[in-house]
C-alpha cells in the first residue's frame, strides 16, 4: 500500500513538472505551479511569507517583517540534503509535496482527491489547500503545528477523532526537528495545560475553574482572549481569535519556556509579554510532595505545617524533590484538621 501511494504521488508530480508554469501568485499557488528556492508566497496583507530557508534545507512560514521568526516548518523531520532541483508543487488532484533531485522529501496527507485545488497562505499564517468551489479546507498547516501557537490555531484534545493538536519545541535554535518539550491539553480530572519534557512534567497551568486556569491570571484580559470548548467536562479545544491589528504569538522555546510575544506598532520587533514557568517556584513539583515553594524566601522550599523533610540530607543540599513527610500520624479526633494555603495551584493528585 505504501509503495502504491508513493508511486501515485511521484507519477502525479512527474506530470505536473511537464506542464510547469513559472509564475507564482502573490499568496496562492495554482495546480501545476511550483515554488523553487528564492520564490515565496506572501499573504495578502504582507504579514506572512512561505518559502525555503536555512540553506534550502526546510520549507517554512515566517513573518515577512521579521524573517528570523519561523512559525511553521513542513519537513521538520526530513531536512533536504540534496539541494539540486528543490521545489514545492501542488498537482491537479491536490497532492502537495516537496521534491529534491527527483525524490519526494515531504508530502501533505491526501485523504481524498480534489479537483484543481489551490494552495493559499492566509494573513493568520495558515497555509491551506482547498478547491475553488469549496469553503472548507482539504488540508491546512494549522492542523500540524510546530513550536508556535498562532491566533486562529486550535490546541485540541479530540477523543472523537483521536487527533490531538499540540506544539513541540525545536531541537535547538538552528534545528527545527522535534525537540524535548511539548505543550498539551490534559484532561485528567479538571482540564489544564501542561508542558512536558518527554514523559516528565515541567509546568502546569493549574486546573480549569470554569473561567480560567487556577494558576494564572483571569481571562479574557488585555493580553489573552481565548475561545474554549468544553464537552462532557473535558476541554476539547482552545484557540484565540485572529486580529490583524495586533500580531501575537506563543512559542515553546528550546529551553522548555513558553513565551508570549506581541509585535511592535512599527512591526519591526517582538516584545515579550510573559513566560511560563514564571520563576523556579512555577516549575512542576519543585519542592516535592507536601512541600511549598516561596520565591521571596532565601531557601525557596519549605514543608507544610506538620511535615518535615523526608530526606534531610538532600534538603541540606537544596535537593527538594523528595518532598516532606508527616511528623506524626494524622489524628482528626485530637484537633488535626485543614489548613488554608493561599496563592498556590491545586495539588496534582492524579498520576
- Mean pLDDT is lowest, of 25-34, 69-78, 172-181, 251-260, for 25-34
- Mean pLDDT is lowest, of 207-216, 238-247, 341-350, for 341-350
CB 186 within 8 A of CB 177: no
Level-2 CATH architecture, domain 1-144: Orthogonal Prism (2.90)
Q: Confidence class of residue 84 from pLDDT cuts 50, 70 and 90?
A: confident
Q: Confidence class of residue 309 from pLDDT cuts 50, 70 and 90?
A: very high
CA–CA separation, 249 and 66 (whole Å): 13
Residue 18: per-residue pLDDT: 38
* Residue with more model confidence, 233 or 147: 147
Residue 320 clears pLDDT 90, i.e. is over it: yes
CA–CA separation, 39 and 25 (whole Å): 10
Sequence-separated (6 or more) residues with CB below 8 Å from residue 43:
27, 49, 64, 121, 122, 123, 125
* Residue with more model confidence, 160 or 73: 73
Domain ranges of the chain: 1-144, 145-278, 280-334
Residue 135 clears pLDDT 90, i.e. is over it: no
Determine the distance from the C-alpha atom of residue 97 to the mean position of all C-alpha atoms in its chain, rounded to a whole number.
23
* CA-to-CA separations, 221 to 212, 230, 238, 265, 275, in angstroms, rounded: 11, 20, 15, 20, 16
Mean pLDDT within 191-214:
91
Largest Cα–Cα distance of the chain, in whole Å? 87
Q: Confidence class of residue 88 from pLDDT cuts 50, 70 and 90?
A: very high
Residues in the chain: 351
* Residue with more model confidence, 140 or 2: 140
Mean pLDDT within 212-237:
81
List, for residues 4-20, the tens digit of each pLDDT value: 344 444 444 444 443 34
Query: For the chain, how far is it from start to end, CA to CA, in angstroms?
Result: 40
| Equal CATH topology for 1-144 and 145-278 | yes
CATH no. for 145-278: 2.90.10
Mean per-residue pLDDT of the chain: 86
Amino acid at each position: 500500500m505504501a509503495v502504491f501511494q508513493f508511486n501515485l504521488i511521484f507519477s502525479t508530480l512527474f506530470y505536473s513538472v511537464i506542464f510547469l508554469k513559472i509564475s507564482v501568485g502573490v499568496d496562492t499557488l495554482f495546480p501545476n505551479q511550483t515554488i523553487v528556492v528564492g520564490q515565496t508566497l506572501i499573504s495578502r496583507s504582507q504579514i506572512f511569507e512561505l518559502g525555503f530557508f536555512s540553506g534550502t534545507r526546510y520549507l517554512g512560514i515566517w513573518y515577512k517583517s521579521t524573517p528570523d521568526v519561523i512559525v511553521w516548518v513542513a519537513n521538520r523531520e526530513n531536512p533536504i540534503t540534496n539541494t539540486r532541483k528543490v521545489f514545492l508543487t501542488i498537482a491537479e488532484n491536490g497532492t502537495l509535496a516537496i521534491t529534491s533531485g527527483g525524490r519526494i522529501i515531504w508530502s501533505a496527507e491526501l485523504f481524498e482527491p480534489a479537483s484543481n485545488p489551490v494552495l493559499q497562505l492566509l494573513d493568520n499564517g495558515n497555509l491551506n489547500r482547498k478547491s475553488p468551489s469549496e469553503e472548507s479546507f482539504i488540508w491546512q498547516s494549522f492542523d500540524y503545528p510546530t513550536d508556535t501557537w498562532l491566533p486562529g490555531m486550535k490546541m485540541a484534545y479530540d477523543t472523537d477523532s483521536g487527533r490531538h493538536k499540540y506544539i513541540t519545541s525545536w531541537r535547538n535554535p538552528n534545528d527545527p526537528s522535534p525537540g524535548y518539550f511539548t505543550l498539551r491539553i490534559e484532561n485528567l480530572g479538571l482540564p489544564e495545560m501542561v508542558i512536558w519534557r518527554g514523559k516528565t512534567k515541567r509546568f502546569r497551568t493549574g486546573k480549569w475553574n470554569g473561567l480560567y486556569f487556577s494558576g494564572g491570571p483571569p481571562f479574557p484580559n488585555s493580553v489573552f482572549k481565548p475561545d474554549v470548548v468544553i464537552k462532557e467536562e473535558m476541554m476539547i479545544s482552545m484557540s484565540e481569535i485572529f486580529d490583524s491589528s495586533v500580531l501575537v504569538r506563543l512559542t515553546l522555546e528550546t529551553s522548555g519556556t513558553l513565551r508570549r510575544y506581541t509585535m511592535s506598532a512599527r512591526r519591526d520587533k517582538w516584545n515579550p509579554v510573559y513566560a511560563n514557568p514564571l520563576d523556579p517556584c512555577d516549575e512542576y513539583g519543585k519542592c516535592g510532595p507536601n512541600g511549598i515553594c516561596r520565591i521571596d524566601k532565601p531557601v525557596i522550599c519549605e514543608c507544610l505545617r506538620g511535615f518535615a523533610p523526608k530526606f534531610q540530607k538532600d534538603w541540606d543540599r537544596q535537593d527538594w524533590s523528595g518532598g516532606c513527610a508527616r511528623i506524626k500520624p494524622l489524628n482528626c479526633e485530637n484537633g488535626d484538621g485543614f489548613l488554608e494555603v493561599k496563592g498556590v495551584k491545586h495539588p496534582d493528585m492524579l498520576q
